[in-house]
Amino acid sequence: MSSVLFWIIAFVAIGSAFIVVLNKNLFYSAIALVFTFMGVAGLYVFLWADFMAGVQVMIYVGGILVLILFGIMLTNRISSVNISHSNYHQGIGAVIVIGIFFILGWMILETPWLRIVEQEPTQTVGKIGRLLMTEYLLPFEVASVLLLAALIGAAMLSRKAN
Amino acid sequence: MNIFIEYSLFIYFLPLLAFLVNIFFGKRLPRHGDWVSIGAVLITLALSMAMFAGMLFSYDPDFRVESSFTWISLGDFVIQLGFLVDNITITMLLVVALISSMSHIFSIKYMEGDPLYSRYYAYLSLFTFSMNGIVLSNNLMLLYMSWELVGLSSCLLIGFWFAKKSAADAGMKAFMTNRVGDIGFFIGIMLLFTAIGSVSYSDIFSGVANGKITGTLLTFAGVGLFFGAMGKSSQFPLHIWLPDAMEGPTPVSALMHAATMVAAGVFMMVRLFPIISPDALVFVAYIGGFTALFASTIAITQNDIKKVLAYSTVSQLGYMIMSVGTGAYVAAFFHLVTHAMFKANLFYGSGSVIHAMHHALHKKHDHETDPQDMRNMGGFKEKMPITYWSMLVSTFAIAGVPFFSGFLSKDAILAGSLSFANHHPEHFLLPVFGFGAALLTAFYMFRLIYMTFHNEPQMPELIEEIHESPKEMTFPLVLLATLSFFIFYTLPYFNPFSDHGWFTYVIEAKTSLVHGAPSAHAIAEGIHHSHLPAMIISLLVAGLGILLAWQMYLKRKLSAERYANKFSTLHRLSLNKFYVDELYERFIYTPVLKLAGKIAFLDWDLYDKYVVDGFGKFTEWFADLIGKMDYDGLDQGIVDGTGRSANRLGDILRNLQTGQLQNYILFALFGVILIVIIQTMV
Amino acid sequence: MDQLHNYLLIASVLFSLGLFAVITRRNAVAVLMGVELILNSANLNFLAFSRFGGMNFNGHIFALFVIIMAAAEAAVALAIIINLYNNYQSINVDEAGQLKR
């Protein structure tokens, strides 16, 4: 049962990713991206990462995707109905990317992965929080500074020069 | 440092300083800088006199101070330069300083108004400097350097009026002739240096004494050194330059070509006498004796007043050389000193006469008449009394009349040659040369006096314009004439017939260091025994010479023309100086020039034209070829080709540089794939 | 669903698709979307390795930082895109070629 659910979720994520990449309409792509993110979040759940799944939904779907939509809106006049865009050197791109994919897949299937079986943790948030406050305190703080810098930088960049 | 060395340093370097000042700034100084040189030489004179007084006070025949410094030091090769001050040095220094000062003073008027006045004084200072170097040196290296410097200053001063071609040529001739002798000199120095390993006198003396160089090699070294003396002291066959050197200003002739520079050769022989082997000395004696007679035979027919004196100088130098050769080298040095005084005086006197003639001719606007020709003179006695009397005194001295200095020194030389002939009867010619020359000397000197000062004037229109020279010129005359009296050389004794005095005491003959040479004592003994006969014969010949001149040129009882016609061949030979110059011209200069011409033909017309030019042409052709290869092939093909291909490649490759980030990513990914594929293949 | 390589394969598909978008898309916003896909696939890998590598939470932390980074990147990228649009009246990445000329 959960196996079937897994494959369904995986299929949704991959299928919507295809739409994101191949659809001519940018707006549809953005919508398809929502489903991809959601699908990936579902896969996180299968990986016992419920907190990360929550974060994924909150930040990607609630934050980044909204930003992207804003970007689409701001850069394409609403009046122009065709918010589509053209692609280029799709042929060679496809060949290269398929090549990369085959290399990756071959590597994944060939590698004898070490596997350590572990009990499903009772809770994840507490452990992550402890790690962030102890071992990864400095990166955590640096990340906050990064976010602040990104905030200021984005505001500075998008401001109209006067 | 010893006071004598200190004085010597001043004596040595002051004239050099004066030379440098005058040659660079002379023209801008007041009076054109003559006072710089005169001051320098007068200080030199004062110091020399102080040293001389010191020598007389110590009165020590073995007095000797030496000081040297290392000039070159290359491992074992060490050359030291330095000063040697002994009695010979001090006496010679005084002579040089005295005659040099006299020349400086005499020149003030004589050279007045010359456009190169300051340069003249600079040269005089240079000469004084180099002459002092010869005198003071304690080694052959400094001696040789000073020797060449003297030759140079001589050349410069002889050719001082270089606008006149004969003067310039004479300067060149003097230099060249000296060079011939100097080659021998240098060979001699090198022989000694190679054998002994040092150039300092003391080392060489001890080296010879220890037998480091003996036999033929030593004889060759001695003859080599003597070659230098032959050039400088104008001995046959290198005597040709001295008469020509009379082209220079008369004070220069007096200073260099009568008293000091030409005496350098004699001085050197006196200095180095102990190391000259007896075989070399015989050669020296014959050269000197022959020169003495030979030059005096020329002097009797010359009409140029300075030429007579020039040949007289050659003859007297021959005397000194002969004396060195016979072993009586103290007599040679004695004659050097006395001769310096009276010969310089004679030259100044002739200069005074020429000066007067020149001015008289100038006033008469006569530029044709030769002011030096004695046939244009005569009767100057009343007009130029100081010149006349001083010259007369000097003439007595040179002729060997008693009570004058020349008598003593000449007598010593003749006694030496007579004693030598007594011991070695096979060398009987030497005294014959000596006495013959003495006879002729007395004759030609009185001929000069009679022709110049006595009789009626040959050019009566000139006679009222002839005046005595100014004080600057008569002062040296009087001084040097005074010094021609015997008394100055025999003190503290007053015997006019013996050279016994301070000179012979202070300058003591030293025994030759060469093995087998007669001792100084033996030589002195021989001279002593020959003294009386030599004096009698020399008095006789001198009297005969004076008598002949008196009869021929004053009383005119004997006609000079008749004798000239009677011995026309000899007369012509003498008048033309035995054609030595012509012989040189014919047998040396011309063949050499011809040979040079032939070689030049070979060189220019054959070698240069065909080989050198051919090589040039070939090189040019080859260079053209290479140039073509280089320009058309290398430059156009490879060098430009590299650039062009790089350009073309760049044109192609720049298409890859799209500026599109996505293209780059594409390439990067393509690279990743390639790497993975290659990785799996390997 | 209990196999590591399943997740890895899904992640590699997502990665390839994101790469394809980055390479072929002209629109800068679409390129950005491709980048997000790539980041998601990376996160998926982190979590998968974390899950099958003994369930330690370092992978989670890494994924968290990647998400933080992605948020910042998205904000700055959109600002740049808006700037680009203001200057060129277009957000086609191949038209922003001023440095090339």
Q: What are the pLDDT digits (tens) for B630-662?
A: 887 777 778 888 888 888 888 888 777 776 778
Does A67 fall in a domain?
yes
> Is the pLDDT score of A10 beyond 50?
yes
Q: What's the pLDDT score for residue B591? A: 84
Question: Residue B600: how many CB atoms within 10 A of its CB?
Answer: 12
Does A112 fall in a domain?
no
Q: Are residues A74 and A150 in the same domain?
A: no
DSSP state of B587: I
pLDDT band for A141, please (50, 70, 90 cuts): very high
Q: Which two tokens stand for residue B161?
A: 């009026």
Please report which helix (H) or strand (E) contains residue B71, including its range.
strand B64-74
Q: What are the pLDDT digits (tens) for B189-228?
A: 998 888 888 888 888 888 888 888 888 888 888 899 999 8
Nearest by CB to B662, from C23, C97, C99: name it. Answer: C23
Q: What's the pLDDT score for residue A86? A: 63
**Complex ipTM, two decimals?**
0.89
DSSP state of A123: -
Instruction: Inform me whether the C-beta atom of residue A21 falls under 8 Å from chain B C-beta atoms.
Output: no
> Is the pLDDT score of C80 beyond 90?
no
Nearest by CB to B676, from A92, A96, A103: name it. Answer: A103
Nearest by CB to B659, from C19, C31, C99: name it. Answer: C99
DSSP B222-260: HHHHHHHHHHHTT-TTSTTHHHHGGGS-HHHHHIIIIIS
Q: What's the pLDDT score for residue C100? A: 62
Q: Are residues A149 and A92 in the same domain?
A: no
Give chain B's residues under pLDDT 70.
Answer: 1, 659
What is the chain C residue with the closest CA to A114? C53
Please tell me the number of Cα atoms within 13 Å of B28 on its side-chain side.
Answer: 4
Instruction: Inform me whether the C-beta atom of residue B670 falls under 8 Å from chain A C-beta atoms.
Output: yes
Q: What's the pLDDT score for residue A148? A: 92
Q: Domains in chain C, ordered, with CATH?
A: 4-90 (1.10.287.3510)
Q: What's the pLDDT score for residue C37? A: 92
Domain regions of chain B by residue span: 139-575, 582-668
Contacting residues of B for C99, CB less than 8 Å apart:
659
Does A97 fall in a domain?
yes
Please tell me the number of Cα atoms within 13 Å of A131 on its side-chain side.
Answer: 15
**Number of domains present in the structure of chain A:** 2
Please give the interface size between A and C, counted as residue pairs whose CB atoms are below 8 Å apart. 216
Cα separation, B187 vs B182, whole angstroms = 8
Does A108 fall in a domain?
no
What is the chain C residue with the closest CA to A4? C1
Instruction: Inform me whether the C-beta atom of residue B666 falls under 8 Å from chain A C-beta atoms.
Output: yes
Q: Which two tokens stand for residue A139?
A: 């990166």
Contacting residues of C for B662, CB less than 8 Å apart:
22-24, 31, 93-94
What pTM was estimated for this model as a whole? 0.65
Contacting residues of B for C94, CB less than 8 Å apart:
660, 662
Cα separation, B578 vs B295, whole angstroms = 10
Q: Kindly give, in sequence order, each residue whose CB lies less than 8 Å from that of residue B531, ignoring residues fewer than 6 positions away.
A: B411, B415, B498
Cα separation, A131 vs C63, whole angstroms = 13
Closest-CA distance, B661 to chain C, in angstroms, reads 8
State how far the alpha carbon of B255 is from the alpha carbons of B302, B307, B375, B476, B583, in Å: 22, 16, 26, 12, 30
Closest-CA distance, A32 to chain B, in angstroms, reads 23
Torsion, CA A32, CA A34, CA A40, CA A45, rounded to 10: -140
Phi, psi of B237, rounded to the nearest 5 degrees: -95, 15
Cα separation, B632 vs B638, whole angstroms = 9
Instruction: Inform me whether the C-beta atom of residue A99 falls under 8 Å from chain C C-beta atoms.
Output: no
Cα separation, B432 vs B285, whole angstroms = 12
The type of residue at B224 is G
Q: What are the pLDDT digits (tens) for A77-109?
A: 644 545 455 667 778 888 889 999 999 998 888
Q: Which two tokens stand for residue B664?
A: 């780059």
Q: Judge whether B83 and B136 are in contact, CB under 8 Å.
A: yes
Q: Are residues A96 and A125 in the same domain?
A: no
Q: Which two tokens stand for residue A23?
A: 């659809």
Q: What's the pLDDT score for residue A157? A: 81
Interface of B with C in 48-107 (CB under 8 A): none
Domain that residue A134 falls in = 120-162
Instruction: Inform me whether the C-beta atom of residue C92 falls under 8 Å from chain B C-beta atoms.
Output: no
Cα separation, C74 vs A154, whole angstroms = 9
Q: Are residues A54 and A126 in the same domain?
A: no
Instruction: Inform me whether the C-beta atom of residue A93 falls under 8 Å from chain B C-beta atoms.
Output: yes
Cα separation, B622 vs A7, whole angstroms = 87
Q: Are residues A5 and A50 in the same domain?
A: yes
Q: What's the pLDDT score for residue A15? A: 92
Q: What are the pLDDT digits (tens) for B357-402?
A: 888 888 887 777 777 888 878 778 788 888 888 888 888 888 888 8
Q: What is the phi-psi region of residue B63: left when phi exceeds 0, alpha when psi lies from -120 to 50, beta otherwise?
A: beta
Contacting residues of C for B661, CB less than 8 Å apart:
93
CB–CB contact A154 C12 (8 Å): no
Nearest by CB to A14, from C14, C52, C65: name it. Answer: C14
Q: What's the pLDDT score for residue A70? A: 85
Instruction: Inform me whether the C-beta atom of residue C87 falls under 8 Å from chain A C-beta atoms.
Output: no
> Is the pLDDT score of C58 beyond 50?
yes
Share of chain A above pLDDT 90, in %: 27
What is the chain B residue with the closest CA to C31? B662
Q: Are residues A83 and A129 in the same domain?
A: no
Cα separation, B435 vs B417, whole angstroms = 10
Interface of A with B in 102-121 (CB under 8 A): 103
Instruction: Inform me whether the C-beta atom of residue C55 falls under 8 Å from chain B C-beta atoms.
Output: no
Q: What's the pLDDT score for residue A35? A: 92
Contacting residues of B for C93, CB less than 8 Å apart:
660-662
Contacting residues of B for C97, CB less than 8 Å apart:
659-660
Question: ∠ CA(B572), CA(B577), CA(B582), 5° rounding?
Answer: 100
Whole-number average pLDDT of chain B: 85
Q: Are residues A87 and A138 in the same domain?
A: no
Q: What's the pLDDT score for residue B1? A: 65
Q: What's the pLDDT score for residue A81? A: 47
Which of C17, C22, C91 would you mutate first to test chain B, the one with the most B CBs within 10 A? Answer: C22
Residue of A88, A91, A89 lying closest to A99 (CA atoms) = A91
Q: Are residues A91 and A153 in the same domain?
A: no
CB–CB contact B662 C100 (8 Å): no
Q: Are residues A47 and A9 in the same domain?
A: yes
SS3 A88: coil
Please report which helix (H) or strand (E) contains residue B85, including its range.
strand B77-86
